[in-house]
Structures are given as structure tokens and as C-alpha cells.
Structure 1
Amino acid sequence: MPTTQAQDSRRPRILICDAISEPVVNMLAAHAEVDQKTNLTHDELLKIIPNYDAMIVRGITKVTADVIKHGLNLKAIARSGAGLEHIDLVAAQKQEIIVVDSPDANAVAVAEHTMGLLLSLARRLPRADFSMKAGRWDKNILVGTGLQGKTLGIVGFGRIGRQVAIRARAFGMKIIVNQVPITPELLLEEVDLADLVDLLQMSDFVTLHVPLRKETHNMIGAEQLAMMKQTAFLINTARGGVLDEDALLAAIKEDRIAGAALDVYVREPDINQELVKHERVIATPHIAASTEDANQAAAISVVEQLIEIFEEIGVDTILPLRVVPMDKVVPHEHIDQKRVNRLANRLQQDGRLSNPPVVMETDDGRYMVLDGATRTAAFRQLGYPHGVVQLASPEEGLGLHTWFHVIQQIDVKQLFALMNGLSNIKLEQVEAEKADDLMFEYAGLCYIHFADGRVFLVHAKPGVNRLDALNQLTAAYIEAAHVDRTLNDNVISLKLEYPEMAAVVFFPEYTVAQVMQSTLSSGRYFPAGITRFIIPGRILRLNIDTEMLQSDKPLWEKNRWLHHLLLEKQGKGGIRFYAEPVFLLDE
């Protein structure tokens, strides 16, 4: 049943699509906001999945590429049980979504069911039960076969195959195994290894325990069935697609094998009725893993994994730092490519990142760079799949200052001619004391106060985007002259401070919301060196090794690495907070 928790922005939202036990739901609800909505149609799932950080499924709900595409906030998909064929793993990997399951949880249950089917085949138990219920005493014709000394061929020696072997040995059976690839651990097992042909020819019972993949699809077909003994039995509790059902039915009808026991089918629940109704076939409705113990263990396993994932992703419990995909990091201003090249070379040589860029997370899951555009551009230039960033938000006191540009080392007349000749802007001469008010009243891009006293309001020409016009203006004078940034708006003082000043460009005081809206909605960037974000609690001297960031390890693993690194620094007293303002002098 649905469990409702008070809304908390720091708690992940998790959708349970296929029912799990109420105690496990309550266990998860202690750490997350949980909704249990079962029997959703595909369209219903697409509609609500953007609201969730994770989802839990069993073997019913299919997590297609379309579902993953709509899961804008999905960070994890959990499969309660074993087998991930209902989840599009390629699509999940592209979106860097963690996929977890619980393959160990139902291994014993499936192995026990396999042994139950094996015993039922050997001793003809279903037919014996049916004859008794029909009022017959068929003792003389229901003669079975013993297991002591018989050979069991196990195809696939993973968790379930090993559990089957343990139980079969207790019956005195000889075990032979076909496993591809052969692992060092397998060589330590007390089993005989065989290729598939030899295993099929030697075994009295063959049981399948391989995952359904391209290479295992129909791996047991007419050719393989023809290799089995006429007295042999086949058991499949793996996946229906690993066995050619038509070939199996033909082999049983023609008495080329003794019989089969099936728990899985190519199409479920639309199964091959002729096959399952055959008197020498024992059929169960995909229940090998369905015990209360196994279901509970599987659900607990994936819930514990989800709790761990979200605890480790949430590194802001120590500092607001996170490892994020670089393709989701977007700048708000243009960059100086020369500075990017220099920093990229230094990062390659040093292999360390000192000060992380500062970003703000947007509603669509991207990260807009507030400070550190050069660093993020260097990361991309070096091919980093991920980068470490500091997260900031307006709620935490984020502010914004606007720089003014002091243009120097160019003749005033030459500078005016340069600006007046630009195609995207027009200059309107105004009185100096009215320039600020007019810029606000007429939404001017900026105004320019020349050293000779003339003042011009700058407008974008009709039909020209404002950011395009502003970028053309700043690019022109940055290329032609030397530019310094200042917060001083007193022209007299600036002339004394900059004797070679030709002009000062005064920009409007932008807000954080204006910068975000302009950049994200249009895809255009502000000119470099206009905005200066004021970030409380700026994190400096992180000094982390960039090797992990460059690696192909998954995002969640890198965040776990960062989390433990910060814990280690905290434990050594290596994180200090200074509340007072600081002046930094260039070395």
C-alpha cells in the first residue's frame, strides 16, 4: 500500500511499480519519500516517472528506453530479484542511471525448485498424485529412477547452479558442469568440467541456469536435444528463450528424450499449451523464485542498495560538492580560449584540481556555471566525462555583482569609430547624469563614458538579439584594447587610477534570475567578465587527483569516492570555515 511521507527536498522520491512486502516498504520510507503504484500502464508510467529519483520493479514492469528517457530525475533503477532483461541497460548506462538487482536473494529458492522438479521427473510424482485422485492404484506402472550415482549436467554455474550442485551432491549424484567462460573460482570447485556436447551426451539429467543473452538464445535446440540420452530429462528454470520449445516438444513426442520440467517459457503467460499439457512434461508458472523468504530477501537487498546509493550521492552532508557529467554543465558566459589552453596544460601536468567550479542546478537537471567557466571548458577540452563542482543556490545567500569595463591603451577617437561601426548596435549620445536612468528606462545594453566626457547609450539594433549585440560590442573592444574590470563607478576616480583610460563601459545590475533565464532559454552566453557571482562558503584548495575524474568508472562510484575523501579530510581536521571577508593578492 502507498506510504506517504512529509515532503523533504533532501529525501529522494522512489516509485515502487511492482508490489513488495509492507515491512520493506516501511524500511525504505524511513529514508525516502515512497509511492507504491502497481499495475501502471506504459503511458501512465511515462506520465509520472519524471517525478521520481528511483524506481523498484520485479518481473512485471518493463523499464524501456522510453521510460528512461522520460525519467528526467532518475538516478537508480532497482530490480527486486534476478535478471535484468526487462530493463534497457544500454539506455540506462547512457543516462548514467545506476541499475541494481538482488541475484543472490533467490538463488536458494530457484535451486530448491529445480531439485523439486528433478525429483518429480525421476519419481513421476505428478502422475502418481493424479492417478490417486482419480481413484487408481497404479503402483506397478509408476516405477521411477533413483538419483544415487546418476549424472547431473549443469549448464551455467553461477549462483543458482552452485546451489543446485550442493543439493544434488547430497543425493549422491555425479556433477558435470558447462560454464563459459571458465573462471579461476570454478577451477577450485569439486566438479568435472565439460563442453556442452559432452555434457549432453553423458548426463542423465540436464538443468539450465544461464542468463538470456544473444549468445544463449535457443542454445538448446533440435541439434542439442539429439545429443541427449533417450532416458535423459531436461529441466529449465532459467529463461524460456534459452530453449527451443518446438524442438523440445518434437523430441518428447518422438521419444528421443524421457521428459522435461519447465518453469519458464518463451512467451509468458501466453505459453505453448501443447507442450505444457504433454504427459511427460511437468510445468509450473514461473514460480521457482517465488517463496516468501526469497521475495523478502530480494526486496530487502535492493532497498538496502538504494539507501546506500542515495546516502553516498548526497555528499553535501559534508560540503556542497558533487561529481557531475560534463555534458550537463553549461556556461553562462563566453570564455577566453587562451586561458583555457593554459589551464588544460597545467591540469595535464599537475593532475590536480585545486578550486572546483561553482554551479547552480537548473530545473531540467543541468548545471549552470557561476564561477569557473575556464575550468569547466578545460575539463571538456581534456575529455573528462565528469567533473567536481560546488553547488550553490539563491536560498543560501547567492548574490551577483556586475563588473564595469575600463578600456585602456587605445585612442578615444579610434575606440569611438570602432564602436560606431559595429553592425549589431547603435549609439545614442546622452547626458552623463541621466545615463543610468535612461539605460534602465529604455532597456539599454549599457552606456559608455568616454575619457573626453561624452556619454553614449548602447542599444541593440532592431531584430538583433540583445546578447548577440552585447557580445559583438565587448569582443570588439577586448580585441582592440586592454580591458580591466572594476566595481568603481566614479569616473573621476577611475581616471586617476587608470591614466591611459579611453572609456568606461557601465552595464546594468543583473540579477541571478535574469542571467539564468537569458542563458538557459536562448542558449546564448553573456560576454566574459561582466558578471561576478557572490558565493557564500566558497570551497578552495580541494586539491584532488584528477585521475578518478578522467576514468570510465560510473558516476555513483566517483561520488562515493568524493564522499569518502571528504570524510577523511574531515576526520583529520582538514576542513576549516572562515566567516570573515578575505582579500586575495595575486602572487
Structure 2
Amino acid sequence: MQEVYQQLQLVPVERIDLHEDFEPSRLTKTQAQIAADQFIRHPILVVQLQSGRYMVIDGVHRFTSLKALGCNAIPVQVIDEHKYVISTWHHRVSTGAWWQNLQQDSALPWTTEVRQVTPFITVCQRQQEQYLYADDLGQSKLAAWSKVVASYSNNCAVERIAQGEINELSDEVMLLKHQPLDITEIEAVVARGETVPAGVTRFNISGRCLNLQVPLHILTEEATHVRMMKWHNFLDNKINSIRCYAEKVFLVEQ
């Protein structure tokens, strides 16, 4: 348990960066839930950057909610680089005018050509696939990515699908596949003060700590020394309640 105890830290809010945008509707629900509970159930998962700052890899809505609720520090679990794998969510969405608009956008060089490299974005329909390749997008890759995701996110419900869990598509449904950035590319995005689209990047993390339930009164404490004393007392009381489960777990997401 010493490993996870050392990973759990209280980090000033101004030292934490986001690499992805948030979904407004999800943020509203998350903030309301935390305010009602008066605690944050799960610590925010972060990696430490070469600059010494921290980047959120899981918990953008929880972090943004805590910041909006006036928290001066954030409870995080610092994840080692060997404890995560970066992938992406596939997005299953309804067809619509948004897709016709994207096809007609001259800044998006869609093609049906199958190349030796993996497409940056793949649009799957029942009878056809169309692609955007990173080489064709050049320096506008991030802007194009944001435009594509925003176009369907703003017009229809988005169902996240884990890779490998794809069913047959109907004529009314499309599947968007996104090629993940590596950690160096993501850090470069953060260094520029930019973010990638919401709900796409997926960090598969080993050894996350769940159900810590950190009270908000610790996080909103203004005096740093008092806040840290409360935090260490809280962790010391929690350490004997931490259990590590090796077996497979099925989580029902609301």
C-alpha cells in the first residue's frame, strides 16, 4: 500500500494542466454531484511533465468542477509512465447534415484511398469508409480534429465505444475512429496552451485508486500548512482501508 500512498498527493490547482476539452453537459452534472456530496470520490489521475507541472489524464470534469467550486488544491494520483497505455474512444453517432457539411469543407481532404499508414480519422458507414490522413492535414491537424468532433458532438448524441467492441452499423448510424496522439505530442499541445477534443483520448491505467472520498473542506482551506496537515491526517486514516484487488471488475457506468 506504500506505493499508492506515495502516489496520492495534494497539488495546488495552478500547477495542473488539462490536455483535453470538457463536455459542458457532463461538467454541469459532475459539479452538481460533487457540491451535493461535499467530497470528491476519486482522485484526479495525472502524470508529471518534464516541466514539473502535472497534466490530467483522467478526470477533466472532476478537476474543472473542483476548480469552479473554489478548491485551492486538488487530490491527485500521480501515474508512472509505465502504468498507462494511450488509445482512443470510437464514437457512434447518427448520420445527418453535419456529415454533408464536413464532406464539403475544403479544409478537410477526405479520401477513400487506403494507404500504408493508419488514417488520423476514419468515418465508417455501412457501405463505405472515408479517411483523413495526418500528412494531408499538416499543421492544421489539431484544428481539423476539433472541427470534426465538434460537428457531430454539437448535433447529436455521442456513444463512446471501446476499441474492439464494434457492432454492425445501420444506415442511420456512423462510427468515427480516431488515431491517438503519443504522450510527446500531447505534451506539446499542452505546452502551446491548447487542448484536444473532449471525449476522444483514452488512457488505459493500471493501479488507479478509487473511492478515496476527499472532503471539500480540505481542498478549499486557504492556509497551505493547515491544508497539508489535514491532508496527511486524512491519508493516514485511510491507508489501512486501502485494498488491492487483482481480479477482473465490471463497473456499471451511469
**Interval containing the TM-score (normalised by the shorter chain):** 0.7 to 0.9
Residue aligning to 1:567:
236
Matched, 1:329 2:16: yes
Answering whether residue 204 of structure 2 is matched by residue 534 of structure 1, we say yes
Task: Classify the secondary structure of the residue corresponding to 2:212.
Answer: coil
How far did 1:539 drift?
A: 0.8
The aligned counterpart of 1:402 is: 88
- Aligned counterparts of 1:463 and 1:537: Cα–Cα separation in 2: 37
- Distance in 2 separating the partners of 1:366 and 1:544: 22
Q: Report what 2:175 is aligned to.
A: 504
Q: SS at the partner of 1:388?
A: strand
Distance 1:321 1:462, change over 3 A: closer
Paired residues for 1:23-422 under 5 Å: 318-395=5-82, 397-408=83-94, 410-411=95-96, 414-422=97-105
How far apart are the structure 1 equivalents of 2:131 and 2:221? Answer: 50
Greater RCO (Cα-Cα under 8 Å, separation 6 or more) = 2
CA spacing shift, 1:479–1:422, aligned 2, 3 Å: farther
CA gap of 1:380–1:423, structure 2 versus 1, over 3 A, is farther
Instruction: Give how far 1:511 is off.
Output: 3.0
Q: What residue in structure 2 maps to residue 180 of structure 1?
A: none
Q: Which residue identity lines up with residue 93 of structure 2 in the other structure?
A: I
Aligned in 2, Cα 1:462/1:349: closer, same or farther, shift over 3 Å? closer
Deviation of residue 500 (structure 1)?
Answer: 6.5
Q: In the TM superposition, what is the alpha-carbon distance from 1:429 to its structure 2 partner?
A: 2.3
Is residue 141 of structure 2 the alignment partner of residue 458 of structure 1? Answer: no
Aligned partners of 1:488, 1:379: CA distance in 2, in Å? 31
Q: Kindly provide the CA deviation profile for residues 335-392 of structure 1, in whole angstroms up to 9, marking residues without a partner as x.
A: 0122222222222222111011101111212111000000111112222221111111
Task: Tell me: CA distance 1:370–1:488, structure 2 relative to 1, closer, same or farther (3 Å).
Answer: closer
Aligned equivalent of 1:547: 217
- AA matched with 2:218: M
Residues in 2 aligned to 1:512 and 1:352: alpha-carbon distance in whole angstroms:
31
Corresponding residue SS for 1:429: coil
Q: TM-score, normalised by structure 2?
A: 0.88
Larger radius of gyration: 1
Cα distance in structure 1, aligned partners of 2:29 and 2:72: 20
1:521 corresponds to which of 178, 191, 211: 191
Q: Which amino acid aligns with 2:20?
A: E
Aligned residue for 1:334, secondary structure, equals coil
Q: In structure 1, how many angstroms separate the alpha carbons of the residues matched to 2:165 and 2:38?
A: 43
The 3 A distance-change label for structure 1 pair 330 and 423 is farther
Question: 1:356 corresponds to which letter in structure 2?
Answer: P
Structure 2 alignment gaps of length 5 or more: none
Secondary structure of 1:505 counterpart: strand
- Contact 2:221–2:227 under 8 Å retained in 1: no
- Gaps of at least 5 residues in structure 1 are 1-314
Q: Go from structure 1 to structure 2 and tell me whether the alpha carbon gap of 1:389 and 1:501 turns closer, same or farther (over 3 Å shift).
A: farther
- Whole-Å separation in 2 of the counterparts to 1:318 and 1:459: 43
- CA-CA distance at 1:490 after TM superposition: 7.4
Structure 1 Cα separation of the partners of residues 98 and 155 of structure 2: 8
Distance 1:490 1:429 in 2: 23
State the distance in 1 between where 2:201 and 2:193 align: 17
Answer yes or no: is 1:585 the counterpart of 2:230: no
Change beyond 3 A, Cα 1:366–1:505: same
Distance 1:503 1:357 in 2: 32
CA contact (8 A) 1:425 1:469 kept: yes
The C-alpha deviation readout for 1:493-532, integer Å capped at 9, x for no partner, is 332xxx4652211222443333233x22332211112111
| Distance (Å, rounded) in 2 between the aligned partners of 1:462 and 1:568 | 52
Q: Is the 8 A contact 1:424 1:464 kept in 2?
A: no
Which of these residues, 462, 465, 470, is aligned with residue 145 of structure 2? 470
Superposed CA RMSD: 2.5
Looking at structure 2, the residues matched to 512 and 562 of structure 1 have their Cα atoms a distance apart, in angstroms, of 30
Structure 2 partner of 1:160: none
- State how many pairs are aligned: 252
SS in 1 for 2:87: strand
Residue identity (%): 23
SS at match of 1:428: coil
Q: Which amino acid is the alignment partner of residue 403 of structure 1? A: W
Asked if the contact 2:75–2:214 (Cα under 8 Å) also holds between the matched residues in 1, the reply is no
Counterpart position of 2:168 = 494
In the alignment, what sits opposite 1:57? none
Checking the alignment, whether the CA contact within 8 Å between 2:20 and 2:198 is kept in structure 1 is yes
Letter in 1 for 2:247: E
Larger strand proportion of the pair = 2
C-alpha separation in 2, matches of 1:583 and 1:381: 31
CA drift of 1:445 comes to: 2.8
TM-score (norm 1): 0.40
Contact 1:449 1:503 in 2 (8 A): yes
CA distance in 1, matches of 2:67, 2:4: 28
User: How far is the alpha carbon of 1:465 from its aligned partner?
Assistant: 2.5
Partners of 2:137 and 2:144 within 8 A in 1? no
Paired amino acid for 2:179:
P
Say if 1:558 and 1:484 are closer, same or farther in 2 by CA, change over 3 A.
same
